[in-house]
Amino acid sequence: MILLVGAEKGGVGKSTIACNLAVHLAGEAVDVVILDTDTQATCAHFAERRNELGHRPEILCLQRTGDVGAALRDLARRYRVVVVDAGGRDSRELRSAIAVADLLLTPIRASQADLETLPTMNTLVNLAKPFNPSLQAFAVLSMAPSNPAIREVEEARELLADFDQLTLAKTVIRDRKVYRDALLGGRGVVEMGNGTARAEIQLLAQEFFEMEAASVNELLN
């Protein structure tokens, strides 16, 4: 399975979600690899820190730029799950990854400025569908306010109804310091003491891996 975490705008938690999903899956004995196509190399640096610090399981992260379609097809034959970190802008890497991915998660912050980038992602998915008809594409509310009194999440849900190629994920990833701490320490939040953040990543994985199997356990085993 090729899982693409991509966005047209940077600073939306894309690499954080990619790294955390990879750690969670690896911890469940899934054979997973990250392909980092972003020039900032956040995932590559994360994997390097993690492995140097001796955290287990190790996370393999490769780096590629340009047209990554052939590299992704090759990796998908050798690994159960390929997690791709792409974007932060409309790029050749993002477009070529969308053309071969099974699942696209595009993180967005619950703000008007971020929501205004969604037409580009909606168009990219629409362009890819004739070549990749099995592609499933979802927007994930990321770095959302942790205060439930703030209505940004509800407002985002209403605005997302206008996009025909993107479905809003049920799981919301909220703005928590533990995500930043974990990334800097080479860990996933599932390995930290914050049960709420751990549950967010577990629920996000469960939501989408259930698309291919009757249950998460069936896929992971």
pLDDT tens-digit map of 37-61: 999 999 999 999 999 999 999 999 9
Domain total in the chain: 1
Q: Say whether pTM exceeds 0.85.
A: yes
Q: What is the pLDDT of residue 210?
A: 59
Question: Which pLDDT tens digit goes with each residue over 157-178?
Answer: 777 778 889 998 999 999 999 9
CATH number of 40's domain: 3.40.50.300
Structure confidence at residue 148 (pLDDT): 64
Nearest to 99 by CA among 68, 122, 121: 68
Q: Which residue has the tokens 């196509």?
A: 37
Is there a contact between 94 and 124 (Cβ–Cβ < 8 Å)? yes
CA distance 160 to 36: 27
At 57 the three-state DSSP class reads coil
Question: Where in the sequence is the domain holding 187, given as residue range(s)?
Answer: 2-220
pLDDT computed for residue 211 by the predictor: 42
CB atoms within 10 A of CB 82: 28
